[in-house]
Chain A
């Protein structure tokens, strides 16, 4: 699976959009981008995923560059409860090769 690079930490003001970047320059054609977050020591929570098109759900939006070498997770109106470690994971979309490789992620702190 391709390696990802994320900034170690970011701050965001409550109510503002949080934009979390991820570089995955070695991504291959059959790899999807997945975003998870982990609050304290809870289990990783799935947020969103995509292949090449931008995606949006009730939690967030995912913007993937045309060359697929980077992506941005957008939390449109961050709240204090969004403070967490955010992980960008690239994984081959083959069911029997579903191992997720977690990096250090980005610690997002939402401030009042």
Chain B
């Protein structure tokens, strides 16, 4: 069964450094998402992406964050200058062409900011 894959599984970064989290969505999916989950808290929506542009973003997704689909298979989340509070699990998700279809999530990248 096709799945969403994320790399790396764990990323350790110094505060203030840039980090890029990578995702390979399910092929033929058209809608892409990033969510995050701080330890012990709820899964929170960050951003949705379709047709090479952001469809919706949350208040969390400020100017430090950006997303990109650099080629036909990858979907990335960049944090420009990481803060301690960016430490969390980051999940990528993708969805097919129709709005009633489910989103499928990857297993996440654990981001630890030192």
Residues of A within 8 A of B (CB): 32, 34, 36, 38, 41-46, 49, 51, 87, 92-104
Contact = CB atoms under 8 A, between A and B. Distances in A.
B108 A95 contact: no
16 contacts: A34-B102, A36-B105, A43-B4, A46-B104, A87-B43, A93-B99, A95-B31, A95-B97, A95-B98, A96-B31, A96-B48, A98-B31, A98-B103, A100-B33, A100-B93, A102-B42
In the complex, which of the residues A43, A44, A46 has the most CB atoms of chain B within 10 Å of its own CB atom? A43
A95 B95 contact: yes
B99 A43 contact: no
B44 A41 contact: no
B42 A45 contact: no
B91 interface: yes
Given A44-B43, A102-B43, A102-B44, A32 B100 contact: yes
Contacts of B103: 46, 98, 100
Given A93-B99, A94-B99, A97-B99, A42 B108 contact: yes
B110 interface: yes
B55 to A, nearest CB: 5
B96 to A, nearest CB: 9
Nearest to B103: A100
B112 to A, nearest CB: 13
Interface string B22-48: 000000001101010100001111001
B84 to A, nearest CB: 19
Contact of B110 (A32, A41, A44, A102): A41
Contact of A99 (B45, B89, B91, B110): B45
B105 A96 contact: no
Residue from B48, B93, B100 having most chain A Cβ neighbours under 10 A: B100
